[in-house]
Amino acid sequence: MISWLKLPLIVTTSICLMGGNAMAADAYYDLKPHQPIATQGVKNLFLADASGNTQSSVDGGASMEAPFEEPFMTADKMHGYLGAASFLAAALAGMTAPDNENNANSVGKPIKKGFHHYAGLTAAALGGAAVLSGFTLHFEDLEPSIMDPDTAHMLLGVLATGAYAYAVSKGPKQYGMGKGSHAAAGIAGGALMAAALYIEF
């Protein structure tokens, strides 16, 4: 059975590999010239009339190009899915937060890491992957103004991922050691990521 500790790494690695394949597919389609798949040939028929004059008639059709169909998965779509998955993982972490982190009867005892902890780790990892893919794909679209939608989207995504990482680092290790900053950072990270998704998608 795969341990909870390995789950965030496996999920993030799999998604990043899919994103790499999508980026390669995008590059292939961008570099390959668009050519018609079928072109009717032009036929010249030379007909001689009774006076000996030669006429030519052209029987042909316009070239036909296949309609463009966007691939099922592209690098840009993968970037969006990474951000959405990060937000979903953060929401699951928030909904599964234990109520007994500050249990006075168990002060000093180590807290067993469960779904809440690993959901937070997954949210941070996916957020980092979303930020890196966004920089790779859209760096040239950024403008030196926070009013620019692309720039605002980037800043919100970076802040959200930073909040996720802070929340994970401040998670209590022992009962009775819970801090309000841990929960506040997690909630802020989720809100910031939701705003980043709303602006761009």
Domain boundaries defined on the chain: 4-23+71-98+109-200
Contacts of 53 (CB under 8 A, 6+ apart): none
Confidence at residue 71, expressed as pLDDT on a 0 to 100 scale: 76
Distance CA 115, CA 8 (A): 11
Single-letter code of the amino acid located at 13: T
Tell me the C-alpha to C-alpha distance, in Å, between residue 162 and each of 142, 166, 170, 190: 20, 6, 12, 11
pLDDT of residue 73: 81
Share of the chain above pLDDT 70, in %: 60
Per residue in 99-144, pLDDT (tens digit) is 655 555 666 677 778 898 899 999 999 999 999 999 999 888 888 8
| Residue 91 confidence (pLDDT) | 95
More confident residue, 157 or 170: 157
Could you tell me what percent of the chain has a pLDDT over 90?
34
pLDDT at 152 over 50: yes
Q: Say whether pTM exceeds 0.75.
A: no
Tell me the two tokens of residue 98: 């234990």
Say what the pLDDT of residue 132 is: 95
Is residue 192 pLDDT above 90, yes or no?
yes
Predicted confidence (pLDDT) at residue 176 exceeds the cutoff of 90: no
- Is residue 192 within 8 A of residue 163, CB to CB? The reply is yes
Confidence of residue 195 (pLDDT cuts 50, 70, 90): very high
End-to-end Cα distance, the chain = 37
pLDDT digits (tens, 9 = 90+) for 15-39: 555 555 555 445 444 544 444 444 4
Query: 12: pLDDT confidence band, cut at 50, 70 and 90?
Result: low
> Which tokens hold the place of 133?
């893919």
| Region 73-99 average pLDDT | 90
Measured between alpha carbons, how far is 98 from 134 in angstroms, rounded to an integer?
Answer: 33
Contacts 24+ apart (CB under 8 A), 28-31: 29/71
Contacts of 136 (CB under 8 A, 6+ apart): 23
pLDDT at position 108 is: 66
CB contact set of 192 (below 8 Å; sequence gap of 6+): 156, 157, 159, 160, 163
pLDDT for 163 equals 96
pLDDT on residue 15: 59
